[in-house]
Structure formats: structure tokens, C-alpha cells
Structure 1
């Protein structure tokens, strides 16, 4: 039977996901057979698995860090918010219904928790070590009786716990003390130490606080992780959307049900991005409509709030418009949806020659494709699809050549005048494609071309893990395990 190590946080955004990712890679580098686990995650950033299901992007990244193929077992319960206090419930990678928060807490949660713990038991049985990520804070008084992602998991797995806090926000010592005081004795006993994350400065200045914690709880501080500039996807619960105007004015419309915003991270790094919340702001060189958990509802929102007219006017004046997944569907001529919104036929924005029909079967696949459009024509790219819609167009954006490693020959996306749409999540993580596309727009504006360089998620995980390992008491962790 394998061991388990759980990463708990004093709050959302404390750094649980990335610390778990780093530990997955550190233990993998040591030769351990390690896998990630999070019983329940609420996220609109998801990714496909080897079984054809979907899990949170955080556990997908952690699987890569463990050098494992992403599996639905690593995140059995995924909640995808739909608005109006409702969420789609995804269990073992497949949607099983849409419920309100109250319905979920009172009916489905306990049954799903038992099934998730059976999955965790299986992982412990088959692997040396399971790195478990908690969710939010483990001691929210109004939620603790219903919490199936934190201390109940830790006690079930007989896991050792690490409590991490974001010191960049301030109040870390008070947050740790408050969390420890609200834990039950058996929960407090399982905690083996504390980690201070995102610290800027001299760690020796924190030593009086470390001494206080050790004297009060008999637990050491296991690490002080410096503030690190990195390119790893962040968890989305407290994600910030900064307005950054680069030489190219790239605007992304912040939809009410925006999903998979990690698609646009390379644009942040290469140029800067302006997230738009009002139609009068729309005037960018490049305007992007992102993916959506509720495509038709967000399309109607664009229409009612005046975004549709603003996009059409900006496009008429020369803006290039791109749609990803749901955004692609919105830019087409027509959507027939009797599945998600059940609104039937809805007219699209009309900038792309495409029609979409929603299907009850969700496609969750890794894809390879050949681009058929403009400056990137003939380029091979990779990405993934997570969608209900099936779209047809006489002018496709790309030709899918591989689905989960199997050969394919399927057109996808659409190309219009100064516009394209695609189902390829992660298209901008193909850096040569992104460089060519941005330089195409830069030349039009009279700007010098740029080089955005090449790097990989694998390299970034390794770099981040080395920083954590250098500032972490791994010897103590190994002794505790």
C-alpha cells in the first residue's frame, strides 16, 4: 500500500496546485511511482484524459509532472459552473447532470465522495505515493460539514498534510494560526508542517514567526518558496485578468461563462492582453472571443450588451477577429442547440461561414492538425477539443490529422475575411504558429517582427520543481512519509 501526502492551503490561491505539481516532479525525479489526486475541483479550465473524459487543468499538469498520462482517476469529481448557482457535474470524466449548489450538497455529494475515495484507495494500492491537492481553505465554518475535498480526504487516506500560505498577500502567520485552531485534533495531528509561498525578501526575517508556530503546534516550517515568475497555468478560482496593452492591441472579451483562458497565456508573454468588459472598449488590432461553458447564453449576452455590434464595427474598420471553441461557434452564421441551452436555432454573429449543431455526445480529445489558413498554411499544430458542438464550413481553418494518436482526416474550424475560428484549445501554445500570426498582424501595423522563443511545459515544470526543492526540507518530508 502506497503513502499519501496532502497539500492544504490557508485560502484559495495559496499555491496548492503549483506546490503539488512541483512535489509530483520532485518525487518522480527521485524514482518514486507517484500520481496526483484531487477528489473534487471546481474549474472551467479542463483538459482531456486517456479515457476520453476530462479533468481539471491543474491535475492534467500534475500528471505531466508525475510523467503519467492524464487519467480521470486523478480528478474524479469536476464541477463546471454554469451561472445562477448551478454547475455541471462531471464524474470520472463524463457529465452526469446539472444541479444547484443546494441540490449537490444535499443529494449527490456523499455518494460521489464514497466513489471518489474508492478511486483514491485504488491509486494508493497501485502506486508508491499519491500527492493530494486540497481545495480553498479546509476550515470554512459554513462549508466544513459538506467539504469532501480537504480533511476528510486526508484522514481517509491516512495522509500526511502540509499547510501552505501565500505570504505575498500578507497575514500568513495569522492565517496559519487561524486554520490550525479551527482544525479538529486528529486533523491537526496529521499536519506535519508549514510552507510560506511567494516570499520576496530575506527568509531569516520570518524566523520569530517560525519559532512561534513550532512552539505552539510542535510543527516545523518546511519551506519558504520565493516569488517565482513562471509560465505554468494557475488555478482559476482567483485568477486575475490584467489589462495590458502591448504594441499590438490584443483584446479578449471576458464572457460571463468564459472557459479555458489558459489558451491565451502565450499572448500574455509575447505581447500583453487587454480583457474587455465593456463594448465601448472594443477597438483592438486583434479581438478574441474565448471558449464558453454556455455558448448560446454568452452569445445572447454579447448581443444584449452591445458587444456584437461593437465587434462587427471594429471588424469593418480592420480588426482581426478570432474565436476559440464556443467563440468560434458564436462567430458562425447559425447555432442549433437543443442540448446545452435548449434554445433551438440562434443566429450567430456571422463573421465566419459556419453552422453548428449541438450533440449530446461530448468530444474530449488530443488533436494534431494541419493549418489551412494564411501565413501559417501547411503548419502542423497540436491542441485538444472539449465540445458538444459539431460545425461545418466550406472554408475550414485546419485539417485534423490525428485524434488521440489515431490517424484522421477531418476538417475543423472556419476562415472568413480577417477572421478565423477553431476548436483547437491550446492553438497559441504552438509557438511558431503564434509567432507567425502575431508578426502577420505586426507587419500590417508597420511594427518590427518579434521572436517569442521556444519552451515546453516539461521544461517549465522541471525549472519550477528545482526552485521548490532547493527551498524545501525534502529530508524531513521523506522521514515523515
Structure 2
């Protein structure tokens, strides 16, 4: 039996990822070598490991919290939704295509089971403790027989579990009792404690509730986490709206509008703006919400053509074109968003749209055509950008895309970045008001982010600002989360649960 802990939630978005992230940092602070793990993740927010493999973004952040390098074994199976019943299946970082949901359950389960088993064996040999995150609820009765992320992982490892419930959603007592009641007997016995999440107000007001839960379930409440003002990168589409935040400065702020996409991917590209005190970020879902932003960001997409046609129908493509051409605004396209800004989206083989012969006219702000093919590029990327005074500054990020983009007018295609070998990447207008790139997390580079923001500041007659180290800010947030857990969770008892189970 491995030394670890399973985190289950009564619902999706109950706080499982948050709890695993905080526990990884808190246990790391106490000297443990910790690994996060999620057997099967469904998310379009992904992370590229140093080996060039794709895993869920949440596990990448959790590895960072644990101060260890993220590996493909921390998330052996990643499902990236491409429609209501299809998803790209990625096992150990390699894409196996996009089967229908029923086909996956019938034909891929054996491969998935073996992948999880292999990864857990490797993690067990390399780390002191493995903190495992379940998915959704562990008691979806129609899925229990092949619930890899929850019951299958728990059976393989035979670790104890904690159950977390979000009191802010309402119905906490019913959801806790219902979850425990529906768990098969061996798994009900492995639950050793409860966590209450998002509690507002004086915790003493929950004493009666805590006593009731202990009497009714026989389980202790190992902690009551308050409603926290600690930003963490989101895992899936449920977290997309949470990227909105307002400027904390009394000075005039920069208003950034992020265009909502049905199949948005890697929207964590926007997170670094949370460190900028004069920047506000908001989500725009239709043309009536567009307003008068200073900049517009088109994020990545898991289904570019579908999302482009959606924006066209909502009137947002015309809004963006007018914003750039007539209002002289700043527009950024990242990955799928970059592809949409071109002249044509060519999917003759049906790789993106699932319909062969599909060719769609794009926004035509860049003289480019994108061709969708089978080959998928997943790699970490390093390079540099050049400023007006010919100064070079390093920049890094990662690529995840299937499209190949070609420029139709080389004289009009000004590179945005250059890779470490001097090859051009992305495009920009001469005044940097229009930029497009395949590099995710480029705004995580403080010098580049500040350079771009300062151009907007100067266009508004605002003062330039110095760089704010986002990585330091992120680490401060992780430490703050761990400190909060030390205060509001019974970490000593949680560690005892893990240690006792190993004996």
C-alpha cells in the first residue's frame, strides 16, 4: 500500500484542486517530497512537461506547489473535450485521437487502467507522499465500474480519503451524507475525515453543524476553510469566469476584455495580469458586453472553427475588427485565437471541425492561412523578443496546437518573437497593436508583459510602470495558501491519517 491520500469532493468545483495544491505546498514546507496525482483529468487547460508531454494544467501547478518537476505520471490520462460526446484522449502525454465517449469507455479503459497503474508505481518509488485528486463526484453510479480518477485509483493504492464539500453552494449536509451513503462499502470505510470549504463568517457558528456531521457520519471535520482571497489557476471551464478581476489602483486602469469561447483552452494565459495593480480583466460573451476596452484577447481554442463561427454569429468578430481598425485598439490572438485573426481556416481533412472539406474565411487582420492536420505540436519554447531600440529580452512558454499557419505576404508579416535559434514566431503589426502567437504563457514573462502594457499605458497618457515579478507573486500566493491550511486545517491529524494507513 502506497503512502498517500485521496481527495474526493461532493461535487465538481467543490475545492479538490485547491485542497491538493495547498496540501502539496504545506507538506513540502514540512519537509516531505510530495507528488500530486490525478489518474484521469478532463480539461482543456493543459501543461507541457519538460519532456514535451501534455498533462492537466492543475497538476502542473500542484507540482510547482510541491516544488518538484511536473511529469507525465502525475496525470497519465488527459481528456480534452471537442464536443458534447467526443474528446481527445491523451495517455502518458501522447494523443490517441478523439473517440466517442462510449467508444472510450469500451475500448480505451484497459489502456487507461494500465497507464494509471504504471504511473502510480513510478510515483510510489520516487516520492514520500502522493496526494491524489478525484474528479467530479466519486459516486456517479452510472460510471462507478470504470471511474478511473476516483474508485479505480483508490482501489489500486488502498489509501485513505478525505471528503471536501463547498458550503457556499448550499446543501452541504445532504451532499456529504448522500456521497457517503452511495460509496461502495470498502470505499466508504477509507474516508477518514471531512473538509468544509468556502465558509463565511465566524467559524464558531458552525459548531453545531460540525457536531451533527461527526454524530451522523462518525467522521471528524479536519478543517473549515474560509472563503479565501487567494488566486489560483483554474482547471476547467467551470473556473473560466473566475479569471475576472478589477484593478486595485486608484489610478485610471487598463481594461482588458477576454473573449469567451465555448471550447476555450489554456485561459490561464491571462493569469499574470492579476499581478498588475492598474489592470482589470473581464469576460465578454456577446457583443452587448464588449464596451470600450483598451485591449482584447482572443484565447486558445480546442475547436477553432466551431468557436470562430460562434463568435461570428454573436457579432463579436465584427466588433473586434472594428475595434482594431477604427478605434485603434490593441488585439491579441493566442493559438486558436491567432488562427482566427487570419484570412482562412482550412480544414479540408476535417481534423478540427470533424467535417471534411470545411474552409472558413477568417477575420483577415493577418495575411495568414491555417491548415489543420493530424500532427500535434507539444513542446516547451524558449526565445526572445526585440524592442524598438534593438534590445533583446528572453521569453519562454509552451506550444500545443495542430494547425500550421503560413503567411501569404512575407513583407507584411513582421515576427513577434524569435526562438532560441533565431527562427521567427508569431506576428505583429508595426505598432504592436495587433499581435498573434502560438506561445502560451508568454505574458508570464514579466519583461514582455510590462513592455506590452506600457505601450497601452502610453497610448492613454499614463505613466510607464516597472516590471512586477509574477512568479514571486504566484509563490507568495502558494505560501499564503499553505499558511491558511496550517491555520484552518488539522494538518497534524491529516498527516497522522496518512502515516497510520501506511503501517
Kept after mapping to 1: 8 A contact 2:45/2:267:
yes
Q: How many residues align?
A: 475
Matched with 1:404 is none
Aligned to 2:162: 162
1:292 counterpart = 2:309: no
Query: Residue in 1 aligned with 2:377?
Result: 363
Map Cα deviations across residues 265-302 of structure 1 (whole Å, 9 max, x no partner). Answer: 23355322232222354453212111011123323333
Instruction: Provide structure 2 residue ranges, at least 5 long, that are not aligned to the other structure.
Output: 248-252, 408-412, 499-503
Task: State the partner residue of 1:194.
Answer: 194
Distance 1:416 1:190, change over 3 A: same
3-state SS of paired residue (2:162): strand
Take 2:387 and 2:436, find their aligned partners in 1: how far apart are those partners?
11
- Map 1:24-173 to 2 at 5 A: 24-173=24-173
Give 1:293-372 correspondences, 5 Å limit. 293-317=302-326, 318-337=328-347, 338=349, 339-341=351-353, 342-343=356-357, 345-372=359-386
Work out the CA distance in 2 between the residues paired with 1:151 and 1:280: 45
Does structure 1 conserve the Cα–Cα contact (< 8 Å) formed by 2:14 and 2:166? yes
Match in the other structure for 1:442 = 457
Q: How does 1:160-309 map to 2 (within 5 A)?
A: 160-241=160-241, 247-268=253-274, 270=276, 271-282=279-290, 283-309=292-318
Among candidates 398, 412, 415, match of residue 428 of structure 2:
415
- Residues 237, 264 of structure 2: 8 Å contact kept: no
The 1-side partners of 2:388 and 2:67 are apart by 36
- 2:409 aligned with 1:400: no
Deviation, structure 1 residue 178:
1.7
CA 1:375–1:340: 2 relative to 1, 3 Å: farther
Which residue in the other structure is 1:405 paired with? none
**How far off is 1:450 after superposition?**
5.0
Which string of whole-angstrom CA distances, capped at 9 and with x for unpartnered residues, describes residues 95-139 of structure 1? 101122222223323441243123223322443221100011111
**Contact kept in structure 2, 1:213 and 1:219, CA below 8 Å:** yes
1:183-225 per-residue CA deviation (whole Å, 9 max, x = no partner) reads: 1221111011011122222222212222222223321111122
Post-superposition offset of 1:58: 0.4
- Structure 1: how far apart are the matches of 2:335 and 2:387? 17
Indicate yes or no: 2:404 matched with 1:385: no
1:423 Cα shift? 1.4
Alignment CA distance shift 1:376-1:195 (3 Å): farther
Sort the Cα spacing of 1:449 and 1:167 in 2 relative to 1 into closer, same or farther, 3 A. Answer: farther
8 Å Cα contact 1:376-1:433 kept in structure 2: no
Q: In the alignment, is the contact (CA less than 8 A) between 1:375 and 1:436 conserved in 2?
A: no
State the 1:343 CA deviation.
Answer: 4.0
Q: CA deviation at 1:159?
A: 0.7
Distance 2:127 2:151 in 1: 21
**Alpha-carbon deviation of 1:238?**
1.8
Paired with 1:275 and 1:365, the residues of 2 have a C-alpha distance of 28
* Distance apart, 1:364 and its partner CA: 1.6
Matched, 1:472 2:495: no
Q: Unaligned stretches of 5+ in structure 1?
A: 402-407
- What is the deviation of 1:392? 4.3
CA contact (8 A) 1:375 1:437 kept: no
> Quick one: distance in 2 between partners of 1:392 and 1:463?
45
Provide the C-alpha distance between the structure 2 equivalents of 1:382 and 1:375, rounded to a whole number of angstroms.
21
Closer, same or farther: CA 311–237 of 1 in aligned 2, 3 Å: closer
SS for the counterpart of 1:409 is coil
Q: Distance in 2 between matches of 1:480 and 1:275?
A: 42
Q: Displacement of 1:57 after TM fit?
A: 0.4
Structure 2: distance between partners of 1:419 and 1:392: 17
Q: How far did 1:150 drift?
A: 1.0
Give the CA deviation at 1:248.
2.9
Other structure's SS at 1:396 match:
strand
* Paired residues of 2:177 and 2:217 also in contact (CA < 8 A): no
Residue 359 of structure 1 deviates from its aligned partner by: 4.2
Q: What's the CA shift for 1:363?
A: 1.9
Comparing 161-170 with 447-456, greater Cα deviation is found at 447-456
- Computed over aligned residues only, the root mean square deviation of the Cα atoms, in angstroms, reads 2.4
The change in CA–CA distance for 1:458 and 1:248 in structure 2 (over 3 A counts) is closer
Tell me the secondary structure at the aligned position of residue 381 of structure 1.
Answer: strand
Please say if residues 266 and 428 of structure 1, whose CA atoms lie closer than 8 Å, have aligned partners that are also in contact: yes
Asked whether the equivalents of residues 121 and 157 of structure 1 are also in contact (C-alpha less than 8 Å), the reply is no
Shifted more, 333-342 versus 430-439: the winner is 333-342
